[in-house]
Structure 1
Amino acid sequence: MTDLTTADGTTFNRVMLKISGEALMGDQGFGLHPPTVERIAREVKTVHDMGVEICMVIGGGNIFRGLQGSAQGMERTTADYMGMLATVMNALAMQSALEGLKIHTRVISAITMNEVAEPYIRRRAVRHLEKKRVCIFAAGTGNPYFTTDTAATLRANEMACEAIFKGTKVDGVYDKDPVKHADAKRYETVTFDEVLQKHLGVMDASAIALARDNNLPIIVFSLDEPGGFKGILAGKGTYTRVEG
């Protein structure tokens, strides 16, 4: 298993956690499932308690997905903006759960809405992290045609994160869908170029290219595994590392 410690022997000091909106809906077919939100918040807390500075980006697919709205005849930019607003709702739900665990949290929106979230100002966000506040970046990049995967990679680079942790329903990247294929094989490590060439579906192509060009590793792990996030940062657990 690839060691997840930095060159000086310590674990990562600042990371980006990217999760899908669907991760918040539990066994429901849509929307927010408060016990699931709280469970994920507790996972974040265990890592926060290690002293790791945490950024988060949460998708909005449990509420509205712009691409699907566009496919149903809605104008694409309008649909994408609706999807961005869905991510703000998810960010506020996660903020509430984290603050219920006594973790200071800031929701930072790429679309100005001062009554519910801070506007994105890079230096202010960095200062929040330095003060050990969890920063949840909402509303994507603020632009249509960009996914929350790309937003997570962009913010991770801007915040000088040392890795992106992509929480999924499976414990890494497989050569084919492990749910449908019993003989699917999990990669220990895989390169950015292999992800693009083999269409492995880790993140969209723009996000992968941005991570590759900035040498930002992506750690794919199961968010459904209790203690998995903390375990990987402590050098344990199962995951796939995507790197150059």
Structure 2
Amino acid sequence: MKDAIILSLGGSLIYPKEIDVDYLKKIRKMILKFVDSGKRFGIVCGGGSSCRYYIKKANEVVAMERIQNDRIGIATTWANAQLVRELFDDIAYEDVVKNYSKKIKTDKPIIIGAGWEPGCSTDKDAVLLGKMFNAGTIINLTNVDYVYDKDPLNNKDAKPIEKATWKEFKKIVGGEWKAGMNLPFDPVAAALAEKEGIKVIILNGHDLDNLEKCLAGKDFVGTVIS
């Protein structure tokens, strides 16, 4: 898996309110095109609205501790990742990766990962997978075009940021992670990426034409953090 492209595939893209079949068909087709040209992918899947739904309902039954919320959220990523793994079948590594402390050896061009330990989102797992395969860049696919100086969904005057240092980014997202948080890249993952010298690109995963430009090394719309 040398020179693999590492994608952090936000659960909001896989499972916004229900499984987005049309989106999965399109991104599968695009990834297969790049695989045919010799590219290799590590794709780590988030939980999306299913994560927040399960956490919400569990807490309606009984108040959960933070670690319990994390464990519920992690389990939802396993389901999403297994779904995505089966979409690629025989060209994907046979298991969904759930432990990033073990070196993976495979000649398959695609590896699918999910959540591992409590205390962070799958963004951190994408960084761990990138570290495993010496990837210098993580592409984080989310549901907004850029990182903004404040939440663009609630603030019409939010300003897009095309480039940011890790220090600047951490001022925006803070330093604490809570299960179910909806951030462009989680604070724990940000700290690890900075430590490992990994660049992170954040872009809107819905815009597959833009993602294709990014993968092809062309100009794209998004935020680069380094």
2:96 aligns with one of 97, 104, 108: 108
Letter in 2 for 1:108: V
The answer for the alignment partner of 2:225 in structure 1 is: 242
Secondary structure at the counterpart of residue 94 of structure 1? helix
| 1:87 aligned onto 2:77 | yes
Structure 1 vs Structure 2 CA RMSD: 2.7
Deviation digits for residues 107-138 of structure 1, max 9, x if unmatched? 33326xxxxxxxx6743x2x32xx24211112
Letter in 2 for 1:137: G
The answer for the alignment partner of 2:162 in structure 1 is: 188
The answer for the alignment partner of 2:192 in structure 1 is: 210
Distance 2:3 2:187 in 1: 27
Distance 1:92 1:210 in 2: 26
Distance 2:198 2:205 in 1: 20
Secondary structure at the counterpart of residue 63 of structure 1? helix
Secondary structure at the counterpart of residue 60 of structure 1? coil
Deviation digits for residues 146-187 of structure 1, max 9, x if unmatched? 321222222221222221101112222122334444443322
The answer for the alignment partner of 1:176 in structure 2 is: 150
Note if contact 1:106-1:134 (Cα within 8 Å) is conserved in structure 2: no
Note if contact 1:153-1:211 (Cα within 8 Å) is conserved in structure 2: yes
Secondary structure at the counterpart of residue 189 of structure 2? helix
Distance 2:49 2:154 in 1: 23
Note if contact 1:165-1:218 (Cα within 8 Å) is conserved in structure 2: yes
Distance 1:67 1:194 in 2: 31
Q: State the number of aligned residues.
A: 213
Letter in 1 for 2:76: A
1:97 aligns with one of 59, 64, 87: 87
- Structure 1: unaligned runs, 5 residues or longer: 1-11, 112-119
Give the TM-score taking structure 2 as reference length.
0.80
Letter in 2 for 1:23: L
- Structure 2: unaligned runs, 5 residues or longer: 175-182
Note if contact 1:69-1:79 (Cα within 8 Å) is conserved in structure 2: no
Matches within 5 A, 1:48-63: 48-63=35-50
Note if contact 1:70-1:76 (Cα within 8 Å) is conserved in structure 2: no
Note if contact 1:15-1:164 (Cα within 8 Å) is conserved in structure 2: yes
1:15 Cα deviation (Å)?
A: 2.2
Distance 1:214 1:68 in 2: 34
The answer for the alignment partner of 1:8 in structure 2 is: none
Secondary structure at the counterpart of residue 136 of structure 1? strand
1:225 aligns with one of 207, 214, 219: 207
2:113 aligns with one of 130, 133, 137: 137
Distance 1:197 1:209 in 2: 12
Matches within 5 A, 1:29-44: 29=17, 31-44=18-31
Secondary structure at the counterpart of residue 177 of structure 1? coil
Note if contact 1:22-1:62 (Cα within 8 Å) is conserved in structure 2: yes
| Compared CA separation, residues 178 and 145, structure 1 to 2 (3 A) | closer
Secondary structure at the counterpart of residue 161 of structure 2? coil
Letter in 2 for 1:217: K
Give the TM-score taking structure 1 as reference length.
0.75
